[in-house]
Amino acid sequence: MKRRIEIGILLSRTGGYAAISNASFTGAMNAIRKVNEDPAFAIELSPVVRDPEGQIDLYAPQCKSILKDSTARHILGCVTSWSRKEVLPVLERADATLWYAVPYEGFEASDHVVYMHACPNQHLLPLLDWAMPRFGKRMHLVASNYIWGWEINRLAREVVTTSGGEITGERHLSLGETGVEDMVDEIIEIRPDFIMNSLIGPSQYSFVKALKARMPGLPILSCNLTECELPLMGEAADGLIAAGPYFHAPGLDFANSHEAAAYASTMEMARLFHAHPGGENLPLADLLALDNGAGPIDAQTHHTALPALIAKAEGGRFVVQQSLPARPGDPYLTRPERHHRRPSLRIVT
Amino acid sequence: MSGRVRILDLAGARAAILHRPHGNVSAIERQLRAIGLSVESHWPELPPDLSVDFLFFDVDMGFDTQFAWKPGESPMPMIALIGSEAPGRIEWSLSHGAHAQLLKPVGDNGVYSALLIARAAFEAHHRSASRIEELRERLSARETVVRAVMALMAQGMSDEVAFASLRRMATDRRESFEAAAARIIARHDHPKSNGSGS
């Protein structure tokens, strides 16, 4: 008889970034099915699902609802950093844990969060290291107007200007805004070497389509784009460049890195709960202390080691251009030995 | 002064916490280690060979003789750990030149922003202190400048020409206006040494 453990799933399966949430949802559900069918696990996972519909003010109440209406103390979810920041106080009060499985901008190491996807030393830094020797150092920044865009831009600006590059402009759009003409006009006028794109959702889709139509050869780079959003841009997506820990290829299990990270998160929960009966009710720090470094989560930062891949979209899929081995997450960029910066003259294709 | 903070150079930074053993200390230590700093804790005395980049100090139980430097002259950014918000304790904290603060109880966050704010305030304080010192020196040399101009005017220059001449001497020898004035006076007071080249 398996021990039944409830876990929360807090994902906006509708709204502006539903494609990403649904990829995460698929990964979590596949992992739950796998655990429940596998007799080697002494536990059975039972999902307690809430859908905040992409509305920021629904995250804290729905997180509370999971914690009040079920025994779940571990919740997989949130896509935007804004929503993660909304649930942090709720988690802290309940000593509960969020498993956050999408790329983010770093500068956080909560005692109540596991960061299972990439942070800047695993996406932005390798991406810029790869891009500058190829395209040049005149970078143009476009971003959605919230913390992901602001921080990615701030860091990209610091890295590029430190290497002697130039920022040709920085433009922001409100979340959901699709009026991109001024932004595109300006880029046509300036002709930068490449675009660092931190737009999300419909803004990104409109921007990519509009810019591709007018300047198809200009490289557009992203730190959070995966296969799950390529169909939303159709042929305009061809040539987009993204950094991430995983891209799908024939023979690989997951459709995209969101699905892979949500699957890995859920499997790691299952491993911990199986190995440490009662661990599902412990605060994260206590559970990790009990586990004594047996899993992939760094006890100090709660981040994981991930490979850094650079890939280019071709015909609806990503083709890896460069693959760097796993490096530990360094959320505050204070551990330079974790950056493994490639000598900038070496060209690898 | 720009409001930009530098994030890429906290690597290898060290912090000390001056606070009795307590859950608050563990919470700060956890955050510091997560950020990537090394950390040491002391109470009630700091070691004489303390060598850290940041100091967190307890405002509730702290006292003057804990510090080896004069109030307000700490060699590193100081972050006040405030529990009781009593005005007397805040005054004491200010007298020691707290560059940032954290309220107790310390929870899951707050340390990173305190580090960046404390460092920025510490550096701003040092920039203004050295600027003030420089201005004070120039102010005290006012009399020297007036005497030098008068000495040049005694040689037949107009006041404008005298000022221009002083400024040119300073530029040529890459010295301050005040230093040039001091040399004019020395030459004027000891005319025989003129032309020795030194």
Per DSSP, the residues of A184-237 read: HHHHHHH--SEEEEE--HHHHHHHHHHHHHH-TTS-EEESS--GGGGGGTGGGG
pLDDT at B2: 41
pLDDT, mean of residues B142-168 = 92
Confidence of residue A16 (pLDDT cuts 50, 70, 90): confident
Give phi and psi for A85, each to the nearest 5: -65, -30
Mean pLDDT of chain B: 90
| B100 lies within 8 A of chain A by CB | no
Percentage of residues in chain B having pLDDT higher than 70: 92
CB contact under 8 A, B34 and A302: yes
Q: Tell me the pLDDT band of B195, cut-offs 50, 70 and 90.
A: very low
Written as one letter, the residue type at B124 is: A
Which residues of chain B does A285 touch, with a Cβ-Cβ cutoff of 8 Å? 30
Looking at the predicted structure, is the pLDDT value of residue A348 above 50? no
Which residue do the tokens 């609802």 mark? A65
Mean of per-residue pLDDT scores for chain A: 94
Contact A92 B37 (CB under 8 A): no
Interface contact flag, A111 B35, Cβ < 8 Å: no
Residue A179: φ, ψ to 5°: -80, 95
* pLDDT at site B189: 80
Q: Residue A175 contacts by C-beta under 8 Å, 6 or more apart in sequence?
A: A16, A144, A145, A146, A200, A201, A203
CA distance linking residue A239 with residue B79, whole number of Å: 49
* Interchain pair A334, B31: CB under 8 A: no
Residue B109 has pLDDT above 50, yes or no: yes
Give percent above pLDDT 90 in chain B: 81
Is residue B192 pLDDT above 80, yes or no? Answer: no
Q: Is the Cβ pair A330, B36 closer than 8 Å?
A: yes
Nearest CA in chain A to B14: A334
| Predicted local distance difference test score (pLDDT) of residue B5 | 54
Rounded average pLDDT over A12-35? 96
Question: Would you state the pLDDT for residue B12?
Answer: 87
Dihedral-angle region of residue B113 (phi above 0 means left; psi in -120 to 50 means alpha; beta otherwise)? alpha
pLDDT exceeds cutoff 50 at A193: yes
Q: State the DSSP code for A303.
A: B
Please state whether the peptide bond connecting residue B44 to the residue before it is cis, i.e. omega within 30 degrees of 0.
Answer: yes
Q: How far is CA A144 from CA A27, A197, B103, in A?
A: 26, 9, 33
Q: According to the model, what pLDDT value does residue B77 have?
A: 96
Answer for the pair A267, A45: CB distance below 8 angstroms, yes or no.
no
- A112 interaction partners in chain B (CB closer than 8 Å): 108
Confidence at A1, pLDDT banded by 50, 70, 90? confident
**Three-state SS at A10:** strand
- What's the whole-number mean pLDDT along residues B25-52? 96
The pLDDT confidence band at residue B190, using thresholds 50, 70 and 90, is confident
Cα B78 to Cα A340, B41, B48, B95, B121, distances in angstroms: 33, 14, 17, 12, 10
For A112, the closest of B35, B36, B108 (CB atoms) is B108
Give the pLDDT confidence of A94-119 residue by residue, as tens digits: 999 999 999 999 999 999 999 999 99
> How far off is chain B from A22, nearest CA to CA, in Å?
30
Strand duo A305-314 + A317-328: pairing: antiparallel
Measured between alpha carbons, how far is A176 from A204 in angstroms, rounded to an integer?
9
Answer yes or no: are the C-beta atoms of A78 and A87 closer than 8 Å. yes
Which pLDDT score is estimated for B6?
Answer: 60
Indicate the pLDDT class of residue B78, thresholds 50, 70 and 90: very high
Judge whether residue A292 has pLDDT over 70: yes
Residues 6+ apart with CB under 8 A from A288: A295, A297, A299, A302
Percent helix, strand and coil across chain B, each to the nearest 5: 50, 10, 40
Q: Look at residue B4 in the predicted model and tell me its pLDDT.
A: 55
Say how far apart CA A286 and CA A266 lie, in whole Å.
18
State the pLDDT confidence band at B194, using cuts at 50, 70 and 90. very low
**pLDDT beyond 70 at A149:** yes
Question: What one-character-per-residue DSSP string does A103-134 give?
Answer: --------TTEEE-S--TTTTHHHHHHHHHHH
* Under 8 Å between Cβ of A104 and A119: yes
The mean pLDDT of A293-312, rounded to a whole number, is: 97
Q: Which of A121-125, A272-276, B164-168 has the lowest mean pLDDT?
A: B164-168
Q: Where are the alpha helices (DSSP H) in A38-144?
A: 59-69, 81-94, 124-135
pLDDT at B187 over 90: no
Q: State the Cα–Cα distance between residues A100 and A114, nearest whole angstrom.
A: 6
| Residue range A304-343, pLDDT digits in tens | 999 999 999 999 999 999 999 999 999 999 987 766 554 4
Question: Is the per-residue pLDDT at A345 higher than 90?
Answer: no
* pLDDT per residue as tens digits for the range A58-78: 999 999 999 999 999 999 999
Pairwise CB contact (< 8 Å): A333 & B7: yes
ipTM: 0.83
